[in-house]
Amino acid sequence: MKKSELPQKLCATCGLPFTWRKKWARCWHEVRHCSERCRRRRSRGAARDSVR
């Protein structure tokens, strides 16, 4: 399969598209963020909002 044919999603944090990776084969339906950095940034922002 060509890389251009792989499924894509939009990142919940930054809004940029990202493509399927082999390490996500079993949990692709649960993946919401393009990277660990975006996942951390999202959770940190939500934690700040709940404190205020």
Per-residue pLDDT averaged across 7-23, rounded? Answer: 94
Mean pLDDT of 8-15: 94
- pTM across the whole model: 0.69
Higher-confidence residue: 52 or 7? 7
8, pLDDT greater than 70: yes
Cβ atoms of 39 and 13 closer than 8 Å = yes
Residue 24: closest CA among 34, 12, 13, 14: 34
Distance of CA 9 to the CA centre of its chain: 8
The domain ranges of the chain are 8-51
Question: Which residues, in sequence order, are CB contacts of 20 under 8 Å at separation 6+?
Answer: 6, 7, 8, 28
Average pLDDT over residues 12-29: 94
Taking residue 34's Cβ as centre, other Cβ atoms within 10 Å add up to 20
3-class DSSP assignment, residue 21: coil
pLDDT for res 4 = 85
